[in-house]
Structure 1
């Protein structure tokens, strides 16, 4: 589905995208078209007027959620934070997200794990989300004079993904674990002084 400005999305598309985001997140990507259309209150014919397939609807619903999910994790633009604080902010926010009883894992990791083709449109959206997250970390640790910012950024992304996955597998939050792990990586890389955050 080509990118569409928010003010160009019809009410029918909005209902489909909202229903898809909810059902795919709570029930997985194998939810059927009938269930999606029923939840959205639209006919299958209407769905196929806007989306070529359920896969396209899945990808579109994931793409629509990226800005909001990143806004949940990232500090506001212009925030006066040190490079270390910029990284740890993400993990402080992640700890809060994981603690929510409705948390079912990172939607992008979950979708990517369920669809098997590397070129599936949902995998492409998930990859884009993770590239953005990794680039955020890379920029922060580069500003903090990391010796190998690319490696450290990938390690921090793995901490994000691993903490999300562990919370789902164990069906419980892991307070402080993601933050402590990220802090240890930053300490090892000498990114700012340890402040006990």
Structure 2
């Protein structure tokens, strides 16, 4: 791909991601994508067969970028315990950021009924990556078995995200952090 092709495709995906995050998949039609991106419909169809392909590609790009950001921020803490607790500090910062509208993957998965739909599969893969990362952190604690604790921590993460978005309660991250701290104390005894 030449630079213009890459830039146009990236512009389409960035615009689609923004619109989907703000409005949802169903409210983001091709007309809105054309108007907001400034890319002609014909050009969009050169890269993507339909709106579903655009949405899936935009969500895949968000997954990669979001996970990279999240891991980088969480890994700034020194010890495994601190990195695990830092998850909730990072989440709270995200909750308080401008334009926060919850988890794009939870939101879009909720719009799609079919569990085999690509959007649902992308959301599932994203949550699996979160579980894998949490499991990686728990594995650094040198406890056995790691998976039950990692799953509990993921439930705290998802619960905090849901409470922050639905209830507007950004302190849910602090509450989840307190519970995570109790779990960590329990497994270190």
Same fold (TM over 0.5): yes
Q: Do structure 1's residue 132 and structure 2's residue 129 form an aligned pair?
A: yes
Q: CA contact under 8 A between 2:73 and 2:90: conserved in structure 1?
A: no
Question: Is the 8 Å Cα contact of residues 72 and 93 (structure 1) preserved in structure 2?
Answer: no
Q: Which residue of 1 aligns with 2:188?
A: 190
Matched residue, 1:53: 50
Structure 2 counterpart of 1:81, from 58, 65, 78: 78
**Structure 2 residue aligned with 1:29:** 25
Q: Which residue does 2:100 correspond to in 1?
A: 103
Q: CA deviation at 1:43?
A: 2.4
TM-score normalised to structure 1 length:
0.84
Partner of 2:39: 42
**Cα distance in 2 between the residues matched to 1:19 and 1:80:** 33
Q: Does structure 1 conserve the Cα–Cα contact (< 8 Å) formed by 2:77 and 2:86?
A: no
Unpaired segments ≥5 residues, structure 1: 192-197
Tell me what 1:141 maps to: 138
Contact 2:22 2:101 (C-alpha < 8 Å) held by counterparts: yes
Q: Distance in 1 between matches of 2:75 and 2:90?
A: 17
SS state at 2:60 partner:
helix
C-alpha deviations, 1:151-186, integer Å up to 9, x for none? 211111111111111111112421512321222222
Distance 1:35 1:138, change over 3 A: same
The runs of at least 4 consecutive aligned structure 1 residues that moved more than 6 Å come to none
Query: How far did residue 28 of structure 1 move?
Result: 0.8
- Identify unmatched segments of 5+ residues in structure 2: none
Q: Work out whether residues 75 and 83 of structure 2, in 8 Å CA contact, stay in contact via their aligned partners in 1.
A: no
Is the contact made by 1:105 and 1:168 (CA closer than 8 Å) also made in structure 2?
yes
Q: 1:88 to 1:78 in 2, by over 3 A?
A: closer
Q: Which TM-score applies when normalising by structure 2? A: 0.87
Question: How many equivalent residue pairs?
Answer: 187
Quickly say closer, same or farther: Cα 1:40–1:144, change in 2 above 3 A: same
Q: Is the 2:74–2:86 contact (alpha carbons within 8 Å) kept by the matching residues of 1?
A: no
> Could you tell me which of 14, 19, 22 is aligned with 2:15?
19
Higher helix share: 2
Structure 2: how far apart are the matches of 1:179 and 1:168? Answer: 17
Shift in CA distance, 136/170, structure 1 to aligned 2, threshold 3 Å: same
Alpha-carbon distance between aligned partners in 2 of 1:177 and 1:101, rounded to the nearest angstrom? 22
